[in-house]
Structure 1
């Protein structure tokens, strides 16, 4: 394939691989760092982990004019700067690390400030924007009673939805670790993929909900059950209260990649009566966690007969042996085999990357809600 040009956008997108859920990294002070702390006296403390830096300052609207701010570096490599008497309001800020402007890497918005690069060919790629009717991707906010905070998600509705009256099936589509609900609509090209498939008559009209599977926590894996609770108790009820959707399990699908795959397993296995379709993309339980394997292996055997009768399709995918989740997934599937749980499995070259997951969405979406 001959590539014609490369375009770079500074869009809200996070072009990095959500690896954290599928390998274990050495812990650092950055793992649990709270980069913005509001003190009782009204001051704000901004912190960044930069152990090799020689000088760190802050810039932006939050910096008071004419005041010297004290900078403290801990032995662990965390730099902290205290801004006194900050009035209520909204402020912009950034760090200056050895003279280089650095946006707060611990900010919830950090994953949406990186550049997105698109390498285009002849425009016929399944993920390209084509001259077809386009659906809408809406940014929605809801209050999560489970997490006690307001959260964001994205919703794709098919072309013509606004003027229609039919209730539609729903796919809940989760990103991977380190990303947000903005990832599938941007680097994942979900809107283009779905628009093209619908225009070609390859999928049924449906609604695709792209929630935020990232929840700030001290331990990454603590996010998994928290998100499952948010999904079942808050996200699904919000969608069903605000969109024309079918609410039975045969018209509800759940999918996730990497960490989102673990969240799919958590919600899908514990609430399998609520889903007709489950996709687990590039994901698997850590194979060296013997206690977890014993516990979940026993649970799978307990639910196997009922699960096989209830869930229409359970599908696992991998990006080939180069996928960092490959060994975890292969080990995990032995538990499903031992329990007698039916599933489908596929893999293709691409590794643990969006190249793989865009293809997964393209291929699997065509099999939804048709059985």
Structure 2
């Protein structure tokens, strides 16, 4: 018995030793290091590397642009790291960074890689990037603060229109489980290549709602973030199709199927959550493709949503798309605006590739004297803007 105890003790000590190697085996490299003056130092231990660079949205955009079928996208800037005596490469921003949530990656001898010293990663379609936050001002809304917190859940629902079980992400505000109250609902839609994970991770929806509600700047509300790809059950890796790679090249995205099926989502939410089951208790908003969906869903069902938000929205369908959803757009807008939505909110960045499409759409609204609110920011088609738009839009809801 004594020998068995000794063997077990030795085994446990060995196991603990190996487990602790992950924590204590190497001298840690601190990266990113945010200094008191909000400059940031990035470090990478790569003694055999020839060239190390960092790229991210904290750097000025490059003048070179990539042309696509949808327009031109600016390329994130690149900065060179300098190698130290111990094989640790280093770069410090020359100026303090403004408050914001930033993303970045390293480029080592031409190969893009994540920062091994930073465990905080966010997926955007098929790209993983490290993130960090410079606090202060609006960026404090993106942080987890010592306030009451809501609940985030992944919920499956049946869509008879699409003929499949599908997944959505749902935020319920602090106190929902015990209050017995009914709440208004914001349906928040993602962009091309995104899924039901996009707004909750990249958009910081739970943190923004928690903070705005705690500050008394927003009404407590439920936020429903569905998957806007009508061919998908759920986000990549969360479906019966297995661990498929994420892609933007998905069928049934902007050809009418999702808009036709959207009442399935509203019916499920009204049945399974304590909602205000009326137009006055519903809002819909989305970014890019999600803005496209928000526009066409809200005009297709003019008695369903009293608040509409178009964030950097695509506007009109492609000319080769044929769907009853996109027939008589101007006639449907006339019906929608005759019913006086409480808020029709349009926001876009000055360098967004969809800027002209939004200018043309606003011209159409102006010509018909349809009331809307316009909000313009700098920069382009980026999550920085969409987080800003969410923080501006939410306080205007359900007043």
1:325-350, CA deviations, whole angstroms, 9 ceiling, x for partnerless residues?
10111112222222332211111113
Matched, 1:210 2:256: no
Matched, 1:280 2:305: no
Matched, 1:253 2:266: no
Structure 1 residue 201 displacement after superposition: 0.8
Matches within 5 A, 1:158-173: 158-173=173-188
Q: 1:117 aligns with which of 101, 126, 130?
A: 130
| Partner residue, 1:51 | none
CA distance in 2, matches of 1:312, 1:237: 22
Q: 1:140 aligns with which of 155, 173, 178?
A: 155
1:198 and 1:205 in contact (8 A); partners too: yes
| Partner residue, 2:104 | none
Structure 1 residue 206 displacement after superposition: 0.6
What SS does the aligned partner of 1:193 have?
helix
| Partner residue, 1:367 | 396
| Partner residue, 1:348 | 377
1:273-332, CA deviations, whole angstroms, 9 ceiling, x for partnerless residues?
11100001101335995999xx97964256526624331111110022x11110111112
- TM-score under structure 2 length normalisation: 0.61
2:284 and 2:298 in contact (8 A); partners too: yes
CA distance in 2, matches of 1:211, 1:291: 23
CA distance in 1, matches of 2:146, 2:354: 36
Structure 1 residue 172 displacement after superposition: 0.1
Matches within 5 A, 1:313-328: 313-320=343-350, 322-328=351-357
2:213 and 2:219 in contact (8 A); partners too: yes
Matched, 1:231 2:262: yes
Gaps of 5+ in 2: 1-36, 44-55, 58-66, 72-122, 233-248
1:3 and 1:121 in contact (8 A); partners too: no
2:229 and 2:252 in contact (8 A); partners too: no
| Partner residue, 2:61 | none
Gaps of 5+ in 1: 8-14, 17-21, 27-109
What SS does the aligned partner of 2:69 have?
coil
CA distance in 1, matches of 2:151, 2:361: 37
Alignment size in residue pairs: 273
1:147 and 1:230 in contact (8 A); partners too: yes
2:125 and 2:193 in contact (8 A); partners too: no
Check 1:265–1:122 CA distance in 2 against 1; reply closer, same or farther (3 A cut).
Answer: closer
Check 1:123–1:212 CA distance in 2 against 1; reply closer, same or farther (3 A cut).
Answer: same
What SS does the aligned partner of 1:223 have?
coil
The higher-RCO structure (CA 8 Å, 6+ apart) is: 1
Structure 1 residue 143 displacement after superposition: 1.4
1:66-91, CA deviations, whole angstroms, 9 ceiling, x for partnerless residues?
xxxxxxxxxxxxxxxxxxxxxxxxxx
2:254 and 2:317 in contact (8 A); partners too: no
Matches within 5 A, 1:1-371: 2-3=38-39, 24=69, 114-122=127-135, 125=139, 126-216=141-231, 223-232=254-263, 234-286=264-316, 299-301=329-331, 303-304=333-334, 307-320=337-350, 322-370=351-399
> Looking at CA atoms only, which structure, 1 or 2, has the larger radius of gyration?
2
Check 1:360–1:330 CA distance in 2 against 1; reply closer, same or farther (3 A cut).
Answer: same
What SS does the aligned partner of 2:213 have?
helix
Check 1:274–1:349 CA distance in 2 against 1; reply closer, same or farther (3 A cut).
Answer: same
What SS does the aligned partner of 1:363 have?
helix
- TM-score under structure 1 length normalisation: 0.66
CA distance in 2, matches of 1:151, 1:308: 34
CA RMSD of aligned residues (A): 3.4
CA distance in 2, matches of 1:129, 1:5: 23
1:247-282, CA deviations, whole angstroms, 9 ceiling, x for partnerless residues?
110110000110011111111111111110000110
- Shifted more, 295-304 versus 188-197: the winner is 295-304
1:287 and 1:327 in contact (8 A); partners too: no
Structure 1 residue 112 displacement after superposition: 6.4
What SS does the aligned partner of 2:208 have?
helix
CA distance in 1, matches of 2:281, 2:188: 14
1:153 and 1:211 in contact (8 A); partners too: yes
